[in-house]
Amino acid sequence: MNFAATLRIALLALRVNKMRSALTMLGIIIGVAAVIVMIAVGGGAQARVEDQIRSLGSNIIMVLSGSMTSGGARGGAGSQPTISEDDAYAIGREIEEIQAAAPTLRGNGQVVFGNTNWSTVFYGITPDYLEVREWAVIEGRGFEPAEMNGAGKVALIGQTVARNLFGDASPIDQVIRVRKVPLTVIGVLDRKGQSMTGQDQDDILLMPISTARKRVLGAAMAKSRSVSSIMVKVRQGQDMSAADQRMRELLRQRHRLQPGQDDDFFVRNLSEILQAQEASSKVMALLLAAVASVSLLVGGIGIMNIMLVSVTERTREIGLRMAVGARGRDILTQFLVEAVTLSLIGGAIGILLGVGGAMAVAELAGWRTELSGASIVLAAGFAGAVGIFFGYYPARKASRLLPIEALRYE
Amino acid sequence: MAGTLIRVEQLAKEYRMGSNVVPALQGVSLEIQAGEFVAVMGPSGSGKSTFMNLLGCLDHPSGGSYWLDGEEVSQLSGDELAQVRNRKLGFVFQHFNLLARTSALDNVGLPLLYSHMPLHERRQQAERRLQQVGLAERMDHHPAQLSGGQQQRVAIARALVNNPQLVLADEPTGALDSRTSIEIMALLQQLNREGITIVVVTHEHDVASFAGRIINFRDGRVIQDHANQAADAAAMLA
């Protein structure tokens, strides 16, 4: 008996009892739709968290100066100026996984404008800094090369600084003083919000690194090339740990450290946060799978139930088919195909409903949802597997009937 | 067409009812030649239905041998018996056993489905058989849209569609009124004249009277086996 004929018989049998077929499918429909909606919502939530982490810089590695021990007291990271601007340029130049390496000089102090003042953090930066942090200037302009090289008396300010010094007025072209050095505000940075540790990232002032070194931070720094930290951005899709490793090797080499000697710098990145996030999304996926398998299980039991009823009802039909030459396995195939058809049609409707449902959730609840092709394939595959698994027992029962008893069945 | 179609020797069948063993058939031996029209008679419990099931390869005998068309079939497996039924036998039942909500054409073509015949050939064969039983006009009708006599004609067409060597009819007129019964018997007689071997199981003498040979069963044994001057059903209708 060929497959097309079997499928035709199955569809006919399902059409004969339309209402019952529809109700039987309902379990599968709900199960599959639930799987798809939940995976879409879960995927959306995960994508949102990932975006947040990315905006905070999951692909950013911080290189800090090493610690200095003086008189038995070990200083913290950065207490000894071991890394230099040139380290940063070397990293950016020599390691291909790295998109940009931005050296920064950090300081803090009072910023004064007219009769108002505000204490903030300032950074001496190179243009790479804005690239690394994916930070845009939304008002005014960025630094020009001449200002960069020539210690130009210019500054970019964050939103918090702008609000506290200028209120609603435009800060562009106003002159502020940082540690008594007059700087012209040439631009305002886009809003960044809070960092992961709760700091206000918009409470910031940026100036060219040469300005910070020669004019603002004072004599101690003026002659040195050392920097507070280097902020490194790893290229999209590159392996963080490989980049980390190569960067350490490069710095050890540049600092002429012998094997066995400790690093004279610290490297920090956010990969721990990513790992924690991955772990939590695995738990979430497991939870979804559990809920999905329960609903598909219930749907499958519904199919088994109805197939058993169907086998009983159609005992005479089975007997007749056997009398005219159907073998046990023909009957088995027929009922199995019927069960699988039922579950696959249910699965298909469930997929449509699930996709629609995910869209409705996005539209009505405003949640971000992420429909994945994999979840649809998974749901369809599961529906088919449920049909085979729960259809097998009734089908086998049908195939084991004895023809004379089946024919005589009232 | 001559030759022995059926030969049974010491054919026996017993059923288990709990701890009791009920003998339904106790050593039946007979032969049926190709082209015969045989009526198997007997009261209920006489073993005639058991005999019929064994002839139809629907059941395994408990003892004895059965040669159908020269092939020993009493030792075959379930699947092999299904093949034998599919290739060599046609069945007509008392209650027609047609598939509901399925056209007459598809009902008739059903046995060919299990001999892997392509759809269009199946349709052709089924059409030819429906014409043969006089239902060419009603091929697309469902059983519910047909009278009892017409349904039994569809069932006969189905029994013929695989060119069987033997048609077994179990009380073929049991659910029909007397005139329709005669019509059905006329059809069977006509098919027999065209060379098909027919075995009818019945408890009605009227029905048996159309057969050329009558075998009487009682208590699982053949008590009488004689030739009969068959009545002509077609003539009775005229």
> Does the pLDDT at position A72 exceed 70?
no
Answer yes or no: do A361 and A382 share one domain: yes
Provide the mean pLDDT of chain A. 84
Name the nearest CA neighbour of B82 among A323, A100, A177.
Answer: A323
> Which of A267, A301, A334 is where one domain is finished?
A267
Separate counts of helices (H) and strands (E) for chain A: 14, 12
Buried b (16+ CB within 10 A) or exposed e, B17-28: eeeeeebbbbeb
Output phi, psi for A222, to 5 deg.
-55, -35
Residues of chain B with C-beta less than 8 angstroms from the C-beta of A407 = 58, 93, 97
Is-contact B93 B158, C-beta < 8 A? no
- Strand pairing report for A181-189 and A154-157: parallel
How does DSSP assign A371-404, residue by residue?
--HHHHHHHHHHHHHHHHHHHHHHHHHHHT--HH
Contact flag A320-B162 (C-beta cutoff 8 Å): no
The secondary element (H helix, E strand) that includes residue B12 is strand B4-17
The secondary element (H helix, E strand) that includes residue A185 is strand A181-189
Answer yes or no: do A300 and A253 share one domain: no
Residue of A nearest to B106 (CA): A9
Q: How many beta carbons lie within 10 A of that of residue A164, not counting itself?
A: 18
Contact flag A320-B97 (C-beta cutoff 8 Å): yes
Torsion of CA B196, B202, B206, B211, to 10 degrees: 30
Smallest CA–CA distance, residue B93 to chain A, in Å, is 9
Answer yes or no: do A183 and A84 share one domain: yes
Is-contact A379 A40, C-beta < 8 A? no
Residues of chain A with C-beta less than 8 angstroms from the C-beta of B113 = 1, 5
- Residue A121 to residue B166: CA distance in whole angstroms: 104
Contact flag B82-A319 (C-beta cutoff 8 Å): no
Instruction: Enter the tokens of residue B103.
Output: 């056209």
- Strand pairing report for A175-178 and A69-70: unpaired
Answer yes or no: do A72 and A206 share one domain: yes
Domain that holds residue A207: 60-267
Give CA separation, B179 vs B59, B175, B191, B207, in Å: 33, 12, 19, 12
State the sign of the Cα–Cα–Cα–Cα dihedral B123, B125, B126, B132.
positive
Each residue of A170-186: pLDDT tens digit?
999 999 999 889 999 99
State the sign of the Cα–Cα–Cα–Cα dihedral A393, A399, A403, A406.
positive
Residues of chain A with C-beta less than 8 angstroms from the C-beta of B162 = 324-325
One-letter amino acid of B22: V
pLDDT of residue B1: 44
Answer yes or no: do A136 and A261 share one domain: yes
Contact flag B97-A407 (C-beta cutoff 8 Å): yes
Answer yes or no: do A301 and A203 share one domain: no
- Residue A257 to residue A255: CA distance in whole angstroms: 6
Residues of chain B with C-beta less than 8 angstroms from the C-beta of A16 = 100-101
Output phi, psi for A106, to 5 deg.
-110, 145
B69 alpha carbon, distance to own chain's centre: 16
- Residue A34 to residue A40: CA distance in whole angstroms: 10
Is-contact A153 A236, C-beta < 8 A? no
- Residue A184 to residue A207: CA distance in whole angstroms: 10
Smallest CA–CA distance, residue B235 to chain A, in Å, is 32
pLDDT of residue B33: 94
Q: What is the number of structural domains in chain A? A: 2
Each residue of A78-112: pLDDT tens digit?
556 788 888 888 988 888 888 889 999 888 888 99
% chain A with pLDDT above 90: 22
Smallest CA–CA distance, residue A20 to chain B, in Å, is 16
Helix axis angle, A328-360 to B78-88, nearest 10°: 100
Answer yes or no: do A178 and A211 share one domain: yes
Average pLDDT over residues A36-48: 81
Smallest CA–CA distance, residue B145 to chain A, in Å, is 16
Contact flag A1-B78 (C-beta cutoff 8 Å): no
- Chain B residues with CB under 8 Å of a chain A CB are 53, 56, 58-59, 78-79, 82-83, 85-87, 91, 93, 97, 99-102, 110-111, 113-116, 119, 158, 162
One-letter amino acid of A106: R
- Residue B115 to residue A325: CA distance in whole angstroms: 8
- Domains of chain B from N-terminus onward: 34-58+79-237 (3.40.50.300)
% chain A with pLDDT above 70: 90
Q: How confident is the model at residue A17 (pLDDT cuts 50, 70, 90)?
A: confident
Nearest CB among A4, A330, A404 relative to B58 is that of: A404
pLDDT of residue A106: 87
Q: How many beta carbons lie within 10 A of that of residue A278, not counting itself?
A: 13
pLDDT of residue A219: 65
A271 alpha carbon, distance to own chain's centre: 13
- Residue A140 to residue A173: CA distance in whole angstroms: 9
Vertex A229, ends A225 and A231: CA angle to 5°? 120
Answer yes or no: do A32 and A153 share one domain: no
Answer yes or no: do A66 and A48 share one domain: no
pLDDT of residue A74: 64
The secondary element (H helix, E strand) that includes residue A220 is helix A219-222
Smallest CA–CA distance, residue A16 to chain B, in Å, is 8
Contact flag B113-A402 (C-beta cutoff 8 Å): no
Answer yes or no: do A97 and A202 share one domain: yes
Block mean pLDDT (10 aa), chain B, length 238: 83 87 90 94 88 91 91 89 93 90 90 88 92 90 92 93 92 88 92 93 91 93 91 85
> Which of A206, A236, A267 is where one domain is finished?
A267
Q: How many beta carbons lie within 10 A of that of residue A263, not counting itself?
A: 14
Answer yes or no: do A285 and A232 share one domain: no
Return the minimum-mean-pLDDT range out of A137-146, A310-319, A340-349, A365-374. Answer: A365-374
Answer yes or no: do A257 and A323 share one domain: no
Is-contact A387 A303, C-beta < 8 A? yes
DSSP state of A226: B
pLDDT: which is higher, A238 or A156: A156
- Residue A188 to residue A173: CA distance in whole angstroms: 11
> Which of A221, A237, A267 is where one domain is finished?
A267
